Structure 1
Amino acid sequence: MRNGWWFDEGRRWGGALLTAALVACGGAAGPESLAPEAPGPELQTEAPALEAGAEDIRVQLEAIPGLTVLDDIWVNGFRFFTLDYEQPVDHLRPGGARFQQRMTLMHRSAAAPMVLDTEGATIFAEPVPSEPADLLQANQLTVEHRFFGTSRPQSLDWSKLNVWQAAADIHRVAQAFEPLYPGRWLSTGVFKGGTAALTHRFFFPDDVHATVPYSAHRSRGLRDERHVRFVRTQVGDAACREQLETVQRETLSRREALRPFLEALEAQGLTFEVLGADRALEFAVVELPFHFWEFYGFGWTCEDVPAADASDEELFAFLNFVSALDFAFSDQGLEEAAPGYYQSATQLGGPGYAEAHLRPLLRYPGEDVATRFPPSGVRKHYEPWTLAAAEVWTRYEAKRVLLVYGDLSPWSASAFDVSARKDSYRVIAGDSIGFYSTLSLLPEPQRGFLLGRLSEWAGVPVHLPDEQEAGKHPAAGAPLLKARRAR
């Protein structure tokens, strides 16, 4: 159950940008073909000259009360700032405890639109634009989610980790930066960050003019059965689905043979005291098909699924690569992911995972649910009404929203919906998992229509890459890194 964990320092995903480019060009990329390092940003040694009479943007940023500039570099045609912004832990009591919320700013021009990128967890700290920012040549302000990464209050009051408090964080940020960027504001986000963009808009509809979330999801309950049906009967190729189930059964049948591989992880410093190594293995197996399709094409394809007679080493390597047993289910990974598990257990809910076909082999059936995970000793009461109200608002009232999904993504089973009468649209792209670059790769006339709406909402033209380059612009790989941190 991973609705908020993240990988340490991009351990396996350092080559994600290169992998995304290979996939976009038609190359299959399995675990062995991931590049060890991603190409770095193109740094500039000299800053462009300021326009006559223009005040330096850093001076303006430093004048914002509560904002601290931590870093400032020129890269790829824009100025990239790393920032901390002081926020109240409880927006209903702004005079109480405070914390520093991490943000990054990609500054192109004060006259350009602003894209507000809401993270669902730890911030993606590299200078890579989202697809809307790339298409619109816009500025981008990215905000880390409260309680994640460095944006943690000193004293964790878990009751203050809810969707309204998170939306209020974004509202204060928008208010603080709007005087510096008078152009049109849009918002975006991926996965849980996409849901955060919608809930922010639900509570504060006038902060931005339009919203473009990618794979935003609204789980109905702690185990949303829509995902079970989708993963078992609808997604991808039937033969591939059956092959994945065979791997699940084979892996569970070899628990004792796979124990040395778990012990090897422990020898590397990972511990499994919270779940126990055997339970961690079983949870990773149960979640395997969901995460396989969630990132299909970026790190693996059906050709990479092991055969039933694969060696123990091959089975474990595939399981660990796709389900990330080492980081997602170790004590270290669970600790980092605790805020996400808390949100899933209290408001966001989570996907259901198919277990019926594995029942004779399971030792912990029904236990892979958000309430089973950290933080321990904290009251967790599931409250569905806030997200239900946001879902109804999005469906019937939300104006200028473009929901982007892919037909291979399990999150499309819990997609939000909108009304075209409100100038809002939903696209489920074929043979796609719904990451950034999805809009650029749509077929015509669908692409032209949706990009036309995006251009009108932003008030500027769209800069579309050449067709052969559309899947290779920097935004194509960014969400993979982001999504591995924030499911």
Structure 2
Amino acid sequence: MRTKAIPALLCAGVISATLLSGITPAAAAERASTAAAQDIRDQLEKIPGLTIVKVEDKGGFPLYTLSLTQPVDHNKPWRGTFQQRFTLWHKATAKPVVHYTGGYNLSSSTREPTTILDANQLSVEHRYFIDSRPAPAVLDWDDLTVWQEASDEHAIVEAIKPIYGKSKWIGTGGSKGGMTQTYHERYYPDDLDAVVAYVAPNDANNKDDRGYEKFFKTVGTPECRAALNAVQREMLVRREAMLPKFEAMAKEQGLTFNNLGSTDRAYEFAVLDQVWNFWQSGTAADCPTIPDAKTVSDDELYKWSSEHGFSPYSDQDPGDATSAPYYRQAAAQLGWADLKFKHLKDVRHYPDIYQPNSVLPADLRTEYDGRAIKDVDRWVSTRGKHIMFVYGQNDPWSAERFKPSKHDSYLYEVPGSNHGARIANLPADERAAAEATIKRWAGQ
């Protein structure tokens, strides 16, 4: 309830006075809460470069949609600006603030640390995604770097932090969001009091994919792995029969494959991704559904695959404001898993296709530079403090992970979990320990 934001003595005084005046305690609390929300709005309106886009109610507390004027290049602010979108779910100035980013477009859904701490939540849209994108006249894809985004978030934290006084700030995010918060912590370690990063990949050496290769040799049971590999192989063995089905689907959905170069190349790329996607979103409980690749009909094979990881990359995906920035970041800095696919070697047509530049328009393709990611990797494992990593045992993205330092930092692995691993799914003793650590970091 909002009344928690009112000091106990003040609350008692309000109740006593309102009983005499005929105003109910609930009505008085509502008035006090409204006044507190207005005070926050007044403070937000005074922040240079900040715009209040709208205010909504979320669970009885105000959810502000905001934007902050950011330089396209923090090293050269005269080059131009853009508006970065974020939200602030405000409960009370005395509560902790959870700083969240998903690493893509804006999401204001309540995150697990927010629930654990009953905290305020600030949610940031990553630069160059959806509405947080510069105008074409000043847009330069070379400005989409992990340091520039960390500097964006630093500016937002500096702008909002005075409102919350001595409250603790906890960074969080999942997958690319977990990576983004870790980068933020590396470049601006004084912004946040701690970071809780979920299923955050760490491709510190893009040329070394042994972690991913080992994952696909050990995940699940031997029987499940063999069945999946057989289905993946059969999809390429039966390429001639499957392509018309793939083309019909593309026509029905209005998909084109100019970036990949042809429908055949797009089909092969989707097949290569199939087993990865199976484990990313599914679980071992899905293994019994895998058909016998040698006896299943073409229609049944295509239908099962379409429902279990076979998903095409089209021009419409990287052409929008969500996918293209990610693939650009992967090609430029984040890296990717260049798997060998030894069981498919004799049925592949395009041996060099499995990399992010393949799905990007020609003008967005770039060369890889891994220096920043290697630097972050070293810093996290040696100097990082108050960082918690949560990974899924059966999540391919968790196969190459950050290694926490010995400075009050931790790593948890959720048994049997996929890319949706959460603290709530840890064994009871580990869950209790993880939640206790987060509360301690937040001063609770």
Q: Which residue of 1 aligns with 2:329?
A: 343
Q: Which residue of 2 aligns with 1:261?
A: 245
Counterparts in 2 of 1:48 and 1:217: CA distance versus 1, 3 Å: farther
Is the partner of 1:419 in helix, strand or coil?
coil
Instruction: Tell me, yes or no, if the aligned pair for 2:279 and 2:396 is still in contact at 8 Å.
Output: yes
Is 1:162 matched with 2:145? yes
Counterparts in 2 of 1:306 and 1:70: CA distance versus 1, 3 Å: farther
Counterparts in 2 of 1:354 and 1:453: CA distance versus 1, 3 Å: same
Is the partner of 1:445 in helix, strand or coil?
helix
Is 1:236 matched with 2:207? no
Instruction: Tell me, yes or no, if the aligned pair for 1:220 and 1:350 is still in contact at 8 Å.
Output: no
Counterparts in 2 of 1:151 and 1:214: CA distance versus 1, 3 Å: same
Instruction: Tell me, yes or no, if the aligned pair for 2:259 and 2:358 is still in contact at 8 Å.
Output: no
Q: State which drifts further: 84-93 or 205-214.
A: 84-93
Tell me the TM-score normalised to structure 2 length: 0.86
Is 1:454 matched with 2:438? yes
Instruction: Tell me, yes or no, if the aligned pair for 2:328 and 2:365 is still in contact at 8 Å.
Output: no
Q: Which residue of 2 aligns with 1:270?
A: 255
Is 1:176 matched with 2:159? yes
Instruction: Tell me, yes or no, if the aligned pair for 1:227 and 1:410 is still in contact at 8 Å.
Output: no
Please give the alpha-carbon distance, in whole angstroms, between the structure 2 residues aligned to 1:431 and 1:379: 36
Q: Which residue of 1 aligns with 2:345?
A: 359
Please give the alpha-carbon distance, in whole angstroms, between the structure 2 residues aligned to 1:297 and 1:104: 33
* Superposition map of 1:206-245 within 5 A: 206-222=190-206, 224-245=208-229
* Superposition map of 1:71-82 within 5 A: 71-82=54-65
Is 1:406 matched with 2:392? yes
Q: Which residue of 1 aligns with 2:127?
A: 146
Query: In the TM superposition, what whole-angstrom CA distance separates every residue of 1:393-421 from its partner, at most 9, and x where no partner exists?
Result: 1011111111110111112221101123x
Q: Which residue of 2 aligns with 1:35?
A: none
Counterparts in 2 of 1:305 and 1:101: CA distance versus 1, 3 Å: farther
Q: Structure 1: 5+ residue runs without aligned partners?
A: 1-46, 461-487
Q: State which drifts further: 229-238 or 86-95.
A: 229-238
Counterparts in 2 of 1:365 and 1:86: CA distance versus 1, 3 Å: same
* Superposition map of 1:314-463 within 5 A: 314-323=300-309, 325-326=311-312, 329-336=313-320, 337-378=323-364, 380-420=366-406, 422-433=407-418, 435=420, 438-460=422-444
Please give the alpha-carbon distance, in whole angstroms, between the structure 2 residues aligned to 1:321 and 1:97: 45
Q: Which residue of 2 aligns with 1:463?
A: none
Q: Which residue of 1 aligns with 2:73?
A: 90
Amino acid at match of 1:54: A
Please give the alpha-carbon distance, in whole angstroms, between the structure 1 residues aligned to 2:37 and 2:246: 57
Please give the alpha-carbon distance, in whole angstroms, between the structure 2 residues aligned to 1:111 and 1:269: 51
Amino acid at match of 2:42: V
Is the partner of 1:377 in helix, strand or coil?
helix
Is the partner of 2:277 in helix, strand or coil?
helix
Q: Which residue of 2 aligns with 1:246?
A: 230
Query: In the TM superposition, what whole-angstrom CA distance separates every residue of 1:202-251 from its partner, at most 9, and x where no partner exists?
Result: 00000000000001111144465234423431212221111111111111
Tell me the TM-score normalised to structure 1 length: 0.79
Query: In the TM superposition, what whole-angstrom CA distance separates every residue of 1:81-133 from its partner, at most 9, and x where no partner exists?
Result: 22222211001122331111121222222221101112211222xx4211111
Counterparts in 2 of 1:52 and 1:255: CA distance versus 1, 3 Å: closer
Is 1:54 matched with 2:39? no
Structure 1 position 51, deviation (Å): 4.1
Please give the alpha-carbon distance, in whole angstroms, between the structure 1 residues aligned to 2:219 and 2:211: 10
Structure 1 position 321, deviation (Å): 3.7
Name the structure, 1 or 2, with higher relative contact order (CA <8 Å, separation 6+). 1
**Identity between Structure 1 and Structure 2 (%):** 38
Please give the alpha-carbon distance, in whole angstroms, between the structure 1 residues aligned to 2:124 and 2:37: 24
Structure 1 position 179, deviation (Å): 1.1
Please give the alpha-carbon distance, in whole angstroms, between the structure 2 residues aligned to 1:247 and 1:334: 27
Counterparts in 2 of 1:311 and 1:122: CA distance versus 1, 3 Å: farther
Query: Structure 1 or 2: larger helix share?
Result: 2
Structure 1 position 157, deviation (Å): 0.4
Q: State which drifts further: 171-180 or 62-71.
A: 62-71
Amino acid at match of 2:121: Q
Query: In the TM superposition, what whole-angstrom CA distance separates every residue of 1:52-75 from its partner, at most 9, and x where no partner exists?
Result: 963513333233222222232212
Structure 1 position 375, deviation (Å): 3.9
Q: State which drifts further: 349-358 or 369-378.
A: 369-378
Please give the alpha-carbon distance, in whole angstroms, between the structure 2 residues aligned to 1:385 and 1:49: 54
Structure 1 position 433, deviation (Å): 2.2
Query: In the TM superposition, what whole-angstrom CA distance separates every residue of 1:273-296 from its partner, at most 9, and x where no partner exists?
Result: 221211111111111111111112
State which structure, 1 or 2, has the greater radius of gyration over its C-alpha atoms: 2
Is 1:130 matched with 2:111? yes
Amino acid at match of 2:116: L
Please give the alpha-carbon distance, in whole angstroms, between the structure 1 residues aligned to 2:253 and 2:424: 42
Please give the alpha-carbon distance, in whole angstroms, between the structure 1 residues aligned to 2:135 and 2:114: 33
Please give the alpha-carbon distance, in whole angstroms, between the structure 2 residues aligned to 1:171 and 1:256: 52
Structure 1 position 310, deviation (Å): 2.9
Please give the alpha-carbon distance, in whole angstroms, between the structure 2 residues aligned to 1:321 and 1:70: 39
Please give the alpha-carbon distance, in whole angstroms, between the structure 2 residues aligned to 1:383 and 1:167: 18
Amino acid at match of 2:132: S
Aligned pairs, number = 407
Alignment partner of 2:90 out of 86, 107, 115: 107
Please give the alpha-carbon distance, in whole angstroms, between the structure 2 residues aligned to 1:82 and 1:344: 29
Q: State which drifts further: 270-279 or 372-381.
A: 372-381
